[in-house]
Every structure is written in structure tokens, then in C-alpha cells.
Structure 1
Amino acid sequence: MPNLGALITNVELCSKADGRSTVTFPTLKKLSSSAAWLDLSPPCLPDVDAVWSIVSQYVRQKLLKAEPQAVRIPGLGTFHIKRWLSFENGEVHTFQKPVFALSRTAAEIRELQHAASCSSFPDKMKKVSVNYAKIQSKVLNAKDVVEETLKFFYFILRNREDTDFTLKGVGTLAIRGAEVTMAFCEDFLQSLNKSTYVVEKLLIRKWVTLDKEIPLLPSRFGRVHQFPQFEIRKVPRKVSVTNDEIIQDFERALSSMGVRGNVSD
């Protein structure tokens, strides 16, 4: 989590300069201090990545149940499994496709496509939210860490920048402009379907996307904000960038440095 303290300070200063709202990250500030990296017995105050690893593990466990559950990460979105039977090559195969619904809160920040409501889930599927009480039996301030990470995530979305949000062992949520892609780990797909044939069919028919394809998704900025690591990573740059987009990108860069001004053709 390099320079988390500096990133937080920069975002807080930008929000103050904006004059509309002030964004603060009290828990993340604690984690950016050296004391947060001490190896303490649980329950302890871990780094951000460790908290999200536990959240990801919770999601994965619920999705891999014999009767998968729809799992909601408040503020980020909901996962569920779509299951169907298919008769192929003289055999009946069970296909299980993971589906992600971006939360309305995140989607409305910049008119992203968000998934349907819970009414689109199978009627018999149990719906659960991430159990922070159980997580906090292992780590302290887990809910605060998640909420502040998402607050930072929303700030990046409001700036209309691109992001990758990785849930370890599940997949990566990629946002490029107005396009939302949820890509999944091959290991997760294999554990879910327990059939190499089924996984290959899911991929060949492009019913799912592998997370290893995400680094190849271009951005008009040539970079993405990587969550929950709070890193900026280079990606291929989109070639079809208009003058207006370049100007907007430049103005955002000035704003991030606390510089205000107008850019014209």
C-alpha cells in the first residue's frame, strides 16, 4: 500500500478545495502509519488488503456452497450464480455462471450500467450481505476499512477515472469510461463448475471473462487506479481520444495538484 497517507491527504485537500463536501478517511489514516504493520494477535488492525482478502474469502465461500447464495457487498455490488443444464456430446452438463450486479450507489455516480434488482435472482436463492460482525472477530475496524475504501473508490469514479477493483480468489471489477466488466479467476470458475469442459465452454462462448484479460483492457488515460491496493497501474491507452477528452484529463490533473484554471482550444 505505497504512499497511502499521501494519497489520502491529496484527496482530502482536493475535496476541501472543491467547496462542496469534505472527504475524510480516519481509519485508512491509521493504517497508513507504521504501527498498522505490526504483527499482532487477532483481533488486530491489519492493512487494507488484508481486510478485503477476508471479505473476498467470505464472498467466495458463499458462492461455492452446494446451494450458492447471492452475496452483497454494500456499496459495491452483489454476486450470484446462474445455473442451467445443457445436453452436449451425449452428456448432460451443469453450467454455473457467476454474475455480478454493480450497486446502484456506485453506478449512479457517473451513469454506469448497474445490474438488476434482487428480483432477477433465482427465487429460491438465499440472499446475504457481508457479515462484518463475523469479520471483526478476526480484525478490528473491518467495516470502517471497507466503507472508507469505497468512499475513495467513489471519489475516483466522480473524477471519471478508470479503476480495477480486485477481490482475491474471486475476480476483478474493471471500469473503463462507462463500461463495466466483471472478470473472474479461472481457479474460481473451476472450483465452481468442477469441470474443465464446462469452464472452457463458458470462456469460448464468452459467457464469462477471465481476470487475466483485465490488464489488456485499454483506458483513455493509459492508467487505472488499482483497488484495494491504492496503486496506479499502467494499461494500454485507447487511441480514439478526442480533444475534449484530452482537455478534461488535463484539467483533472491540474485539479489533483490543487491548481484551478480553464483550458481552452
Structure 2
Amino acid sequence: ESDVSFSCFLDVLTIWKAVSKYVRNQLLKEEPQAVRITGLGTFYIKKCHSFENGKMITFQKPVFSLSRTVARAHELQHASVPVPGEITKVSVSYKKTDLGVPYPEKVVQHCVQETLDFFCFILKKKEDVDFVLKDVGTLAVRGTEVTMAFCEDLLLNLNKSRDMVEKLLTKKWVISDKEVALFPSRFGRVHQLPQFEMRVVPRRVSLTDEETSPGVKNGLSRGNVSGQFPL
């Protein structure tokens, strides 16, 4: 197995794609499990009911609960929703056999942790960030506001009805990840992880152009924006 003590580059996008797939698979099980990414938060599926025109409709929606440690450390506005006791709770497995990646467990875990450390570094500098989990959704942080927007295909797989997906989105019971591109930032730009890129978004208010803080710039320069991550 590879030794994580020497300097090398990993395909960070491949690793995070595998982590996202693991999360998605747990959520789409016949008996969905709550799955935690340590240092980020927990995903689970909530079964809901609503009365319309005298009829009760049943649907499923994904829920994300941000890590309390992260929320408190960076004073983020996010309601931590406890996972119902009847739902089985698991953490993401970093084993090669579970993720289907060619890297040993220690290397994968180190790569994930380094990405999450940089996520917290951005938050510490009070900058905005989108954390993309492919085919699951996007965690968007704007100032102290936190929004988890979900992939419409995930909603469709959960509810097996496009009409229900439209209802979920129209009533804002769930936010689509397609809306994230329109979420404004006071900087007019956001960090995008795990791509380690900067992305232009609408500016929230009219401010003079602010430079990205030097600390974040230096940190970003250590992560190759082509999708490779140094270990």
C-alpha cells in the first residue's frame, strides 16, 4: 500500500465522486440509512405527509444536518436536525472495496480530511463557498447562511414521480442545486470544492472589489485547481 508520508498528488475529484456515490447509495436503499461525513455533517431521508384538497400525500425528502462543531466554530446559521432514532446511522467508509477507488484507506481518509480542513479555512476567513457532492447536492455557505440544495435526480429516485419533484421544488420543501448558481455573494465570487476553483456569482450588494484574503490565496495555491491534491 502507498505510504501517505511522502509527497504525492491524488485525483481528489475521483475520491470525492466516490464519497458522494457512497452517500447517495445509502440514501437510496430500500431502508435508507443516515450517513455521516465526519467534519461536514449527516444526510438522511425524511418521510413526510401533507394534506391537499382533502387528501393526504406522502413523499420523501433528503435532509442535511451540518456538523455542530463546524457550525459553532464559524457561527453559522444552521438548525441541527437530529436523526430519528429508528434510522440506522453509518459513517462514510474509506475502504477501497466500499468506495471503488484504487487508493488505500489511509490515503483516501487523508485526502478527505485535507479538503475539509481547507473548507474550514475558507469559513474562518469569512469567505463564501459551495461544496459539491456529485449527484447528491451542493452545500452553499453565504456569510453565516447555510443552504443544502439537492440534485433533482436524487429527488426523482426517492419519489418516483416528476410531479412530486415539481411540488417539492415549487413549495420550497427542497431547494434544487440548480439554484445555487444564482445564490448571491457579497464578494461576487465563491470558492468551489472539491474542485479548488473560484466561481463568479451575482453580487449581493454593491461593494468595492475586495481581494480574496491572502491566507486563502496561499492555501488555494497549495491545492492544484486541475483536481489534484497534494499529500
Q: Summarize the Cα distance change of 1:28–1:176 in structure 2 as closer, same or farther, 3 Å threshold.
A: farther
Residues 226 and 194 (structure 1 numbering): CA distance in 2 closer, same or farther, change over 3 Å? same
Q: 1:136 offset after TM fit, Å? A: 6.4
Deviation at 1:137, TM superposition (A): 6.2
Q: Deviations over 1:123-148 (max 9, x none)?
A: 21101100112446633211111000
Question: Quick check: 58-67 or 232-241, which moved more?
Answer: 232-241
Distance 2:125 2:6 in 1: 20
Q: Distance in 1 between matches of 2:37 and 2:6?
A: 19
Could you tell me which runs of 5 or more consecutive residues in structure 1 were left unpaired when the two chains were aligned: 1-25, 32-45, 259-265
Give me the whole-angstrom Cα distance separating, in 2, the residues matched to 1:256 and 1:66: 42
Q: Which amino acid aligns with 1:225?
A: H
Matched with 1:106 is: 70
From 85, 95, 108, the equivalent of 1:123 is 85
Counterparts in 2 of 1:27 and 1:80: CA distance versus 1, 3 Å: farther
Aligned partner of 2:8 in structure 1 is 30
Contact 2:141/2:147 (CA < 8 Å) preserved in 1? yes
Q: Following superposition, which runs of at least 4 residues in structure 1 exceed 3 angstroms of deviation?
A: 26-29, 85-93, 134-137, 252-258
The correspondence of residues 74-85 of structure 1 with structure 2, limited to 5 A, is 74-85=38-49
Aligned residues of 2:125 and 2:216 also touching (Cα < 8 A): no
In 2, Cα distance between equivalents of 1:97 and 1:29: 42
More moved, 93-102 vs 205-214: 93-102
Return the structure number with greater relative CO, CA threshold 8 A, min gap 6: 2
SS in 2 for 1:156: helix
Aligned residue pairs: how many?
A: 211
TM-score, normalised by the number of residues in structure 1: 0.72
Larger radius of gyration: 1
Amino acid at match of 1:129: S
C-alpha change, 1:175 and 1:257, in structure 2 (3 Å) is closer
Sequence identity percentage: 57
Judging changes above 3 Å, is the alpha-carbon distance between structure 1 residues 162 and 144 closer, same or farther for their aligned structure 2 residues? same
Could you tell me how far 1:238 is from its partner in structure 2? 1.2
Task: Answer whether contact 2:192 2:198 (CA < 8 A) is retained.
Answer: yes
Q: TM-score with structure 2 length normalisation?
A: 0.82
Contact 2:131-2:138 at 8 Å conserved across structures: yes
Q: 1:96 aligned to 15, 36, 60, which one? A: 60
Q: What amino acid maps onto 1:201 in structure 2?
A: K
**Counterpart pick for 1:202 among 152, 168, 172:** 168
Measure, in 1, the Cα distance between the counterparts of 2:5 and 2:139.
Answer: 24
- Distance in 1 of aligned mates of 2:169 and 2:217: 42
The runs of 5 or more residues in structure 2 that have no matched partner are 219-231
Written as runs of structure 1 = structure 2, the 5 A alignment for 1:246-265 is 249=210, 253=213
Q: What SS is found at the alignment partner of 1:111?
A: coil
Q: Whose helix fraction is larger, Structure 1's or Structure 2's?
A: 1
Match of 2:18 in 1: 54
Please list the CA deviations of residues 180-237 of structure 1 after superposition, one character each: whole Å capped at 9, or x if unmatched.
Answer: 0100111111011111121111111111100010010110111100000000011111
Structure number having the greater strand percentage: 2
**Deviation string for 1:12-50 (max 9, x for gaps)?**
xxxxxxxxxxxxxx889622xxxxxxxxxxxxxx40010
Distance 1:184 1:136 in 2: 21
Q: Secondary structure at the match of 2:202?
A: coil
Superposition pairs of residues 1-265 of structure 1, within 5 angstroms: 30-31=8-9, 46-88=10-52, 92-116=56-80, 120-133=82-95, 134-135=97-98, 138-140=101-103, 141-239=107-205, 241=207, 249=210, 253=213
**AA in 1 matched with 2:13:** D
